[in-house]
Chains A and B, each alone.
Chain A
């Protein structure tokens, strides 16, 4: 276990796709042992890539961590396969609600427990239903026919079945109605509190993300351009303007163009 109480630590990692496209240019971040950390940024900033670097799924998209290191519970994991990493307890809920669409809801959940056995399986399924009562009502439905919100609950429940030690959540709010988003974020908070589950949360919905997270990082073009406690980020004028720029005007404003923004010294140069 890491001495600073962090379960996960990224040290200045660089990620390349296809050996040529440099997407992450030195990203460092930490996830404390029972915290929720938000990873924010515009489209294409490299948020999903960061998660895939951690979970090892990157290797299946012809990507590679070319520099820096990733440590999970004090061990380096950046060279390990996705399979090994998931066995160690890091589960990524990939973006886009990728349910197994021809399986039923309950089968989807059970697939998450493919490493467990009988009795554990039952209690795991019950736990998922306790967090997501809606899933219990529609357990026999084919997952492909469920609504977006139900599918989001399903992929989270499926991930929960693996008994994760760290959950990487990629844009759970994408394209959902406000009421549903609220429900899902409440569940995220409960999972974190009641299961002591650390969560690295990628979101474009900055306001919501900072409401549940304790700490946040802002990523832009593959670099961390700002980080701080959720409170400090919320009050930050740059964030405010950036955030307003995103929602009110509907245009994507570059962080670099915001005039209050003081260029932060890159760490470790």
Chain B
């Protein structure tokens, strides 16, 4: 039982980071219909950038803030340079461009930071775990959770209550109607990419603290795909719940499947942890093709 609870808590905590990255992904999809396959590399970029700021001697919160700023700028640049010229092109073309962006980023990151695992030194969070009742949790999880939740709240608040956020929602709902009252679709796309890069950047920074920074952070970033698919692609609450579910699934798979042994022999080769969310996504799609929260058109009764 303790073991189970332990898995649930860490699952939710890591899941909150996925939720953050997934939120960014969903904003792009909602407002511009672009299926962005470069989220993994964006996350990895955030990890390297924040690590570098930290190694320069900046306190971690400041490094995180700078990572946000770098994310904002990079998001705007990528949208302007790669995506805007493609407005009106076919979905497939745009997807391939995002794949291109991910290869480009992966190459550039390897070139700048190499392929060895880098770690935040000295460790950002005390390694002394915290005991809550019967459960023991590393502080890095707790702080990551807090940071992810705070940012999630900020982004959701922005989306719900600011003029720009409303403009984004309006464009997502009906682009022509939004244009008709003077909302600039280009501006909305740019905002969506900026937010997605910021979210992925911070997500990467947090994951980098948990696992160390190497390409595997990029693989973790890719877990937003099962998260958003299960959440229903265009739903913000869906992305958040999807992220949490992926965190949970991943931890359960890691906790139970990876250690599953019969007569002392492991029957599932390692890696169930990475694979299981995708497996669950496929199963979930069979039963709920629109995901948990996917939009269908509102039909008045």
Residues of A within 8 A of B (CB): 55, 57, 60, 82-83, 86-87, 91-94, 98-103, 107-108, 110-115, 142, 144-145, 147, 155, 158-159, 161-162
B 153-190 to A, binary, CB cutoff 8 A, 1 in contact else 0? 00000000001101101100110111111111000000
16 pairs, A vs B, C-beta closer than 8 Å: A55-B180, A57-B179, A82-B180, A83-B184, A86-B180, A91-B181, A98-B176, A98-B180, A99-B177, A102-B295, A103-B169, A108-B170, A111-B181, A115-B182, A147-B300, A159-B180
- Give complex CA distance A66, B110 in Å: 51
Please indicate which of the listed interface residues A91, A94, A114, A159 has the most CB atoms of chain B within 10 Å of its own CB.
A114
Size bracket of the B interface: 20 to 34
- Give complex CA distance A162, B167 in Å: 13
For the complex with contacts A83-B182, A91-B182, A98-B176, 10 further pairs of A-B residues with Cβ separation under 8 Å are A92-B180, A94-B177, A102-B298, A103-B169, A111-B183, A114-B167, A147-B300, A159-B180, A162-B181, A162-B182
Q: How far is the CB of B86 from chain A (nearest CB, A)?
A: 16
Residue of B nearest to A121 (CB): B163
Residue of A nearest to B300 (CB): A145
Q: Which of B163, B184, B295, B298 contacts A113 (CB under 8 A)?
A: B163
**CB distance B180 to A57 under 8 Å?**
yes
- Give complex CA distance A142, B300 in Å: 11
Residue of A nearest to B183 (CB): A114
Chain A neighbourhood of B170, CB < 8 A: 100, 103, 108, 111
Chain A neighbourhood of B183, CB < 8 A: 111, 114
Chain A neighbourhood of B177, CB < 8 A: 94, 98-100, 155
Q: How far is the CB of B162 from chain A (nearest CB, A)?
A: 10
**CB distance A114 to B179 under 8 Å?**
no
**CB distance B298 to A60 under 8 Å?**
no
- Give complex CA distance A161, B167 in Å: 14
Known interface pairs A87-B182, A91-B182, A159-B181; A103-B173 also in contact (CB < 8 Å): yes
Chain A neighbourhood of B300, CB < 8 A: 144-145, 147
**CB distance A142 to B298 under 8 Å?**
yes
Q: How far is the CB of B177 from chain A (nearest CB, A)?
A: 4
Chain A neighbourhood of B181, CB < 8 A: 86, 91, 111-112, 114, 158-159, 161-162
Chain A neighbourhood of B297, CB < 8 A: 101
Chain B neighbourhood of A112, CB < 8 A: 181
**CB distance A101 to B179 under 8 Å?**
no
Chain B neighbourhood of A145, CB < 8 A: 298, 300
Q: How far is the CB of A96 from chain B (nearest CB, A)?
A: 9
Q: Which of B167, B169, B173, B182 contacts A86 (CB under 8 A)?
A: B182
